């Protein structure tokens, strides 16, 4: 009987990691759809929502069944309760990928993004996907130390979103209200996806240690950075991403 119970816990943990991997795959595909104006990829992301919903319902029901029938204690109890909580974070990650795909579908065949912001969303997508992959890994490994590193990657997405907001409000914007709304929403979707990946890592830390720690950030007291600091970050970000885009273009041109 105990062996069956242990197998059920293992299966639940594996299925939760599968949800995280699926949400991350969806965001990767949605980012491709956004940058390449690929309607087929966007539709694939939206179709994936059925599988995500099935896994969410199944995992939640399995978690409540284990609570009711097995009365777990200590670490086992943490695993079951954490799994039930994780369902909401992982479902939301999949939903956010779907939101990106819906914007692509709504604007097709036109590109959603004005050319000057493509590089920013390419980088936001890269970081968000990396966070999703890392979250999947720590769900499998239960490595609290690795989980604690995710917050620093999330800072990059936050900085990019603030920079995009500056482009919309401080500098002259030439691409209309609709494009400004889309860019604002998309920035928010990527930021929230990254936040949920960090939340997954926090729950893994709780599962491994029994303590729910707030992951450290570069600005632990949560005070607002100065205007000079924001300008410095924005200028560094601008130079880095323009160099990255130029390097990618140069590499493609010499690939023959």
pLDDT band at 101 (very low <50, low <70, confident <90, very high): very high
Tokens 């992959």 correspond to 133
17-31, 136-150, 155-169, 206-220 — which one is most confidently predicted on average?
17-31
Q: At residue 255, does pLDDT exceed 50?
A: no
For the chain, list the domains and their CATH numbers: 2-246 (1.20.58.220)
pLDDT band at 230 (very low <50, low <70, confident <90, very high): very low
pLDDT band at 169 (very low <50, low <70, confident <90, very high): confident
Higher pLDDT, 232 or 115: 115
What is the DSSP secondary-structure string of the chain?
Answer: -HHHHHHHHHHHHHHHHHHHHHHHHHHHHHHHHHHHT-HHHHHHHHHTHHHHHHHHHHHHHHHHHHHHHH---HHHHHHHHHHHHHHHHHHHHHHHHHHHHHHHHHHTTS-SS-GGGHHHHHHHHHHHHHHHHHHHHHHHH--HHHHTTHHHHHHHHHHHHHHHHHHHHTS---SHHHHHHHHHHHHHHHHHHHHHHHHHHHHHHHHHHS--PPPP-SSTT-PPPPHHHHHHHHHHHHHHHHHHHHHHHHHHHT--
Please compute the mean of the pLDDT values over residues 138-146 and round it to a whole number. 92
Q: What is the pLDDT of residue 256?
A: 43
Tokens 């968000």 correspond to 128
C-alpha distances (whole Å) from 52 to each of 105, 209, 210 are 20, 28, 28
Q: What is the pLDDT of residue 216?
A: 46
Please compute the mean of the pLDDT values over residues 113-137 and round it to a whole number. 93
pLDDT band at 154 (very low <50, low <70, confident <90, very high): confident
Q: What percent of the chain has pLDDT over 90?
A: 54
pLDDT in tens, 239-249: 665 666 566 66
pLDDT in tens, 173-228: 888 889 999 999 999 999 999 999 999 999 999 888 877 666 544 443 334 444 45
The pTM of the full predicted model, rounded to 2 decimals, is 0.81
Ranking 105-109, 157-161, 218-222 by mean pLDDT, the lowest is 218-222
pLDDT in tens, 30-76: 999 999 999 999 999 999 999 999 999 999 999 999 888 888 888 88
Q: What percent of the chain has pLDDT over 70?
A: 81
The whole-chain average pLDDT of the chain stands at 84
């Amino acid at each position: 009987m105990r062996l069956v119970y242990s197998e059920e816990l293992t299966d639940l943990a594996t299925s939760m990691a599968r949800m995280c991997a699926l949400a991350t795959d969806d965001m990767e595909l949605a980012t491709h759809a956004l940058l390449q104006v690929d309607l087929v990829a966007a539709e694939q992301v939206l179709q994936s929502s059925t599988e995500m919903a099935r896994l969410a319902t199944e995992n939640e029901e399995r978690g409540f069944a284990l609570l009711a029938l097995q009365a777990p204690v200590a670490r086992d109890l943490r695993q079951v309760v954490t799994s039930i909580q994780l369902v909401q974070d992982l479902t939301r990650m999949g939903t956010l990928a779907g939101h990106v795909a819906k914007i692509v579908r709504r604007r097709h065949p036109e590109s959603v993004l004005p050319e000057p912001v493509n590089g920013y969303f390419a980088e936001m997508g890269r970081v968000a996907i990396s966070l999703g992959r890392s979250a999947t890994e720590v769900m499998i490994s239960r490595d609290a130390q690795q989980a604690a590193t995710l917050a620093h990657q999330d800072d990059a997405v936050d900085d990019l979103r603030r920079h995009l907001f500056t482009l919309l409000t401080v500098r002259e914007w030439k691409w209309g209200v609709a494009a400004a709304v889309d860019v604002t929403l998309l920035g928010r979707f990527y930021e929230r996806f990254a936040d949920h990946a960090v939340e997954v890592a926090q729950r893994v830390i709780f599962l491994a240690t029994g303590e729910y720690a707030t992951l450290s950030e570069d600005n632990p007291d949560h005070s607002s950075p100065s205007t000079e600091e924001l300008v410095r970050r924005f200028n560094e970000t601008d130079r880095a991403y323009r160099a990255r885009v130029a390097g990618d273009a140069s590499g493609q041109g010499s690939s023959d």
